[in-house]
Structure 1
Amino acid sequence: MDRREIAALLAYIGRLDPRTIRTDQGEARDQLAQWAELLGDVPIATRHGWDALVAARQHIRTSVYQILPADIVRPWESYRRDRLARHSDPTPSVDPDDQAAWTAELVGTRRAVAVGTAQPAQARAITTGRDEINPRLQARLREIGSCIPPAARAALAPYRPARAAREAAVAQGLPDALSVRCEWEGCLAQPGEPCRRRRIGPDGGARDTTPCATHPSRLDLAAAQQAGQAGQVQQPAVA
């Protein structure tokens, strides 16, 4: 607040609590200087919820003590802390290799949130919907074909042989059994999940399930689906 805004705030407070009014010109000047010194970094109001007049009115309504500059500063600091606690730093738009620019944008965003000129950026929830993928990421995935680089995929192959065998079969044009739901009774694995079998306890009841080899019926379903998709692709050309 500048001196003009603080003078307006003191005039407003004087209408609500006459005890703060200074009739002597020297006392009024000293009061204005004191409040300007203590409230110089506190805005009179922001676009997002802060208003010094509201803070002053609330104190006068709820306290029997004469208002002091600290009674405006405390709500302002609480307002700042609350906004920063709800803020999740968005990724800066500058080059991440430019450390100075990266830090400056983070600090500038936090300062704007703290002083009430920008709204806190909420952290986005983790979703599984493909519609939520960033368009730039989708373009990148279409360009490289996978989110795992080929070199990294080859290095991981010895540690996940089942996945590597599946990828090799798909590369050879064979059906991908895990692309369909398993209809084997007692399995019913969803697409992308391996087949499972029940473990029977001594009492004859099912205890749990464990991964097992892909059921033949699931391979047949995947082959039928692949054949149907191939027929749909070739049908317009034949016509």
Structure 2
Amino acid sequence: MERNEIAAILAYIGRLDPRTIRTGPGEARDQITQWQELLDDVPFATDHGWDVREAIRSHILDSPYPILPVDVARKWHAHRRDRLARHTDPTPAADPDDPAAWRAELLRSRNVVAAGLAAPSTHRQLTSGGRSRDVAERLSEIGSCIPPAVRAAREAAGTSGVPDALTVRCKWCHAPAGAPCRQRRTNPDGTTKGNAVRATPHPSRIDLAIARLDRQHSA
């Protein structure tokens, strides 16, 4: 804070707590110098949540002791820590192959938030990366976890009226609903091996899907 701002808050404190008033010219000057030395990096107010008058009023209401400059400084540093704790770094626009530029942009973003010049970014997944693209466009890029042969068999079953076996869990290979069946071969010692995707579901899974459809029709 500047010297005139320090003088203003000392006058404000004096109105709320007359014990802090210094009447002598030398005392008042020394008090302003002391407070400015300790509050040099503390802003008078910011656009996002900090006002030194609120911190002063809170102390006077909560504490029986006269407020000291260190009390204001501690409140400001606690306010900074809280802001940074709620801040999630947005993805920098800098080239990720340039680590120095990447770190510099992150540091600038954090300093702006800590100084109260910008609000914390608490939802990176909703704010970074620009406008969300259409779902169909994203799916065309990432493809499907279901192999084409399995997907074709599933679509053919749907058009032929046969129930979709992938709507139920397979009790043979333990594939969850929505996932294709896997090859499961038994070793002589009783253990199982094999993890290749089957183009068609296990017969027992198809039977389960049919039984489920029958129950739905009879309900």
TM-score strictly above 0.5 = yes
List runs of 5+ in structure 1 lacking aligned partners.
127-131, 149-161, 197-210, 219-239
**Residue of structure 2 aligned with 1:134, choices 132, 135, 139:** 132
Cα distance in structure 1, aligned partners of 2:135 and 2:114:
31
Encode CA deviations 1:24-59: one digit per residue, 9 max, x unaligned: 111111111111111011111112211110111111
Residues 178 and 26 of structure 1: CA distance in aligned 2, closer, same or farther (over 3 Å): farther
Cα distance in structure 2, aligned partners of 1:38 and 1:184:
68
1:3-82 alignment, distance < 5 Å: 3-82=3-82
Cα distance in structure 1, aligned partners of 2:36 and 2:122:
34
Amino acid in the other structure paired with 2:179? E
Please, what TM-score do these two structures have when normalized by structure 2? 0.66
Cα distance in structure 1, aligned partners of 2:17 and 2:77:
24
Residues 178 and 9 of structure 1: CA distance in aligned 2, closer, same or farther (over 3 Å): farther
Cα distance in structure 2, aligned partners of 1:70 and 1:138:
58
- The alignment covers a number of residue pairs equal to 178
Please, what TM-score do these two structures have when normalized by structure 1? 0.61
Shift of 1:136: 9.4
Shift of 1:134: 3.1
Say if 1:178 and 1:194, in contact at 8 Å, map to a contact too: no
Say if 2:44 and 2:52, in contact at 8 Å, map to a contact too: yes
Question: 1:120 maps to what in 2?
Answer: 120
Cα distance in structure 1, aligned partners of 2:34 and 2:46:
23
Residues 185 and 135 of structure 1: CA distance in aligned 2, closer, same or farther (over 3 Å): closer
Shift of 1:99: 2.2
Say if 2:166 and 2:201, in contact at 8 Å, map to a contact too: no
Shift of 1:146: 3.3
Q: Which has the higher contact order (CA 8 A, sep 6+)?
A: 2
Amino acid in the other structure paired with 2:154? A
Residues 124 and 195 of structure 1: CA distance in aligned 2, closer, same or farther (over 3 Å): farther
After superposition, the CA RMSD in angstroms is 3.8
Question: 2:191 maps to what in 1?
Answer: none
**Residue of structure 2 aligned with 1:147, choices 142, 163, 181:** 142
**Aligned-residue identity in percent:** 51
Q: Secondary structure in 1 aligned to 2:74?
A: helix
Say if 2:167 and 2:177, in contact at 8 Å, map to a contact too: no
Give the 4+ runs in structure 1 shifted more than 2 A: 123-126, 132-139, 145-148, 176-192, 215-218
